[in-house]
Amino acid sequence: MSDINNGVGVIDDDFNPAAAPKAREAAGARAATWGGKGLTVGIGVSAVITLIGIVLWVMQLSGGMVQTAMRNLDSWGLYITMFMFFVGLSAGGLIISSVPKAFGIKGFGGISKVAVFSSIACTVAAIGFVVVDLGQPVRLWELFAYSNLGSPLMWDIIVLGTYLILSCVYLWAQVQAEKGKVSHTALRVISVVALVCAVLVHSVTAWIFGLQQGREMWHTALLAPWFVSSALVCGTALVMVASMALRAAGYLKLDQAHLVKLAKLLAVFVLVDLYFFGCDLLTEAFPAADGMAVVDMLVSGPLAPFFWGEIVLCVVAAVICLVPSLRTNPLLAVAGVAAILAILCKRVQLLVGGFQINGLADYAGPLTPMTVTGWESGMAGAYQGMVYWPAPIEWGVCLGVIGLAVLIFLLGVKYLPLRPKADEQ
């Protein structure tokens, strides 16, 4: 059990902390590499999943994206949903790690480097999701040759690339700082830049959607700060869950006080996120005009499961984090996972919701197999439930990309000096 947890515990919500001591013993003394058989198996499994994902991706490219459920009226799907989600996840690590350093305040124990590395893994996944979504990935080079600097997607690519590089630099700087090769001032400068970049990356990702006048659901100035807050929610939650898992696996030690601090922070972020959500819903609903469609769709329409899912999960996370007596390890883990899932629900709402509201809905067009998912049941049928639901190949490719992120993370855990210094523990 614990061995397996070493591998996939990062996103596992029912790992068993009781098994931790044993694992900690198994970890043995600090070494260049860390981890036992469990980690190796985890690496193997995630490598296989990644490979399967790549095979499926090649199939998708050769057989055509017609194999996905995406169509002309719902032209983005699971990949872009997961892109948004992973960009968000990537935030937490870097912000958690850099905020204390940037502002010179007390941090969250020795999780800084692992947190940054989780950011790197998530950023790679986010980029991976953009790549698997492309129809012509071999033309990726054009992004640099014919860059249209006016396109938010171009901004995002630039910022995301910068972010990835910065994260690596920041991680390297931390390691070097530990060795005394980089000054704390320099580290602090890097951490400020990294922080700015992290905020930017979420804002820009939000602008991919928020700057589009074409989609009622997306076109709001709130989207950028909201993306930042959502990123903080799921990022913090991921760091919390991951560090608990790593602590359980004996990879690092973590004061419960740090965890509680993280939990409190998470609660604040969740509340801010909900506040933004409330602002947005009110702004949409109050004029009782076009925006009402958005509210109806979320509250009682096809996206209601994801809307209420998000609300309930957020509330659960906030309550656990805010009520001292509930801050037990298992419940904190639940809170973390709930917060992550809540943001995933948000991402689904945002993506599908953008397409669910058809700007030309007053007009009924001819439907062909290329028009919309579920075209056979007519326009009403196609939009009755969610206009889009992923096809099997998308789940497969998606798992592959996640597998890649896990693989990178586990490889880092195994081979990189990410464990906290003794004095940090």
Partner 1 sequence: MSDSAAPVRGISRRSFLKTSAAVAGAAAVSGGAMTTLAPDAHAAETPEEREVVCVCGCNCQGTCSLVATVREGRMVNIRANENIPYPAYERICMRGFSHANRLYDFNRVLYPMKRASWSLEDPHVENRGSDEWERLTWDEAAKLVGETLEYNTKNYGPHSNCILVSAGNSFAAYGGLTAGIGFINAFGFQGLDVCLDYGDLVGIGEVTGSGWDFNQRNMSGDYRFAKTLLIWDSNPPNSEPHNWHFCIEAKEAGANLVVIDPTYTIAARQATKWVPIKPGTDPALGMAMVNAIIENEWYDTDFLRDKTCAPLLVREDNGHFLRSTDFGEAGPAQLPEYPFYGMLLLQGTKAGKIPTAEQTAAYVVWDADAGAPGGLNDVANPALEGTFEVNGVKVTTAWTLLKEHMAECTLEWAEEMTEVPADTILELARMYSQDTPSTIYAGYHLYDNCEEMGMTWATLASITGNIGKRGASIGHLGKNKPSINQAGILFPAGLAGITDELPWLQLPEVLETGQYKGKDFPVRLLYNIGANPVGSYAAQRKTIEEVLPKIPCIVTNDMEFSETCEYSDIVLPCTHYFEYDWVQASSHTPFLYMANKVVDPIGEAKEDVDIFRLIAQHTSNEKAKAFYAKTNEEMMRIVLDTEKGKPWGISYDNLKEKGVIADREENWIHWEDQRFPTLSGRLEFYVENPGARINIGKPIDKDFYHLPTYHTPDEAYDGSEQHAKYPLYHYCERTRWHLHTQYNHAPILRELDPEPYLRMNPVDAEARGIAPGDYVEAYNDRGHCVCKVKFDNAVRPGMVASPKGWHRKAYVAGSYQELTNDHLNLLHQNSSFDDTLVEVRKYEGEVK
Partner 2 sequence: MTHYGMVIDTEKCIGCHVCAMACKLENNLPNDMWWNRVLTDNGGDAEFDMVGGTYPDDLKFGYIPVSCQHCENPACVKVCPVGATYRDPETGVVRQDYDKCIGCRMCMSACPYNGVRSFNWEDPQYHMDYATGSKDAPAHQKHVVEKCTFCYHRTSQGEEPACMRLCVGRARFWGDLDDPDSDVSKMIASRNYKQLLEDRGTKPSVYYLV
Q: Which residues contribute to the site for partner 2 (CB under 8 A)?
A: 61, 63-66, 68, 70-73, 75-76, 130, 133-137, 139-140, 142-143, 145-148, 150-154, 157, 208-209, 211-215, 354, 358-371, 378-380
Identify which of 355, 369, 356 has the alpha carbon closest to the alpha carbon of residue 65.
369
Among 33, 183, 300, 368, binds partner 1 (CB under 8 A): 368
**Contact call for residues 98 and 194 (beta carbons, < 8 A):** yes
Whichever of 65 and 266 has its CB closer to partner 1, that residue is: 65
Whichever of 82 and 99 has its CB closer to partner 2, that residue is: 82
Residue 364 CA to residue 38 CA, distance in Å, equals 56
Tokens of 126: 């986010």
Among partner 2, partner 1, none, partner that 136 touches (CB below 5 to 8 angstroms by kind): partner 2
Instruction: Measure CA 183 to chain center.
Output: 31
CA–CA distances in Å: residue 73 to residues 173, 201, 275, 346, 360: 46, 27, 31, 21, 11
Residue 229 CA to residue 108 CA, distance in Å, equals 19
63 contributes a contact to partner 1 by CB under 8 A: no
Whichever of 146 and 363 has its CB closer to partner 1, that residue is: 363
Place of tokens 């109050």: 286
Phi, psi of 271 (to 5 degrees): -65, -40
128 Cβ contact partners less than 8 Å away, ≥ 6 residues apart: 401, 404, 405
366 contributes a contact to partner 1 by CB under 8 A: yes
Cβ-based neighbour number of residue 239 at 10 Å? 30
Among partner 1, partner 2, none, partner that 199 touches (CB below 5 to 8 angstroms by kind): none
Among partner 1, partner 2, none, partner that 140 touches (CB below 5 to 8 angstroms by kind): partner 2
Q: How far is the CB of 206 from partner 2 (least distance, A)?
A: 14
44 contributes a contact to partner 1 by CB under 8 A: no
Whichever of 45 and 59 has its CB closer to partner 2, that residue is: 59
Q: How far is the CB of 62 from partner 2 (least distance, A)?
A: 9
**Contact call for residues 374 and 318 (beta carbons, < 8 A):** no
Cβ burial of 374 (10 Å; 0-12, 13-18, 19+) is buried
Q: How far is the CB of 135 from partner 1 (least distance, A)?
A: 20
Among 28, 278, 305, 381, binds partner 1 (CB under 8 A): 381
Whichever of 137 and 392 has its CB closer to partner 2, that residue is: 137
Q: How far is the CB of 301 from partner 1 (least distance, A)?
A: 17
Q: How far is the CB of 227 from partner 2 (least distance, A)?
A: 16
Whichever of 104 and 214 has its CB closer to partner 2, that residue is: 214
Phi, psi of 54 (to 5 degrees): -65, -40
Q: How far is the CB of 380 from partner 2 (least distance, A)?
A: 7
**Chain residues that interact with partner 1, rule: CB under 8 A:** 366, 368, 377-378, 380-381
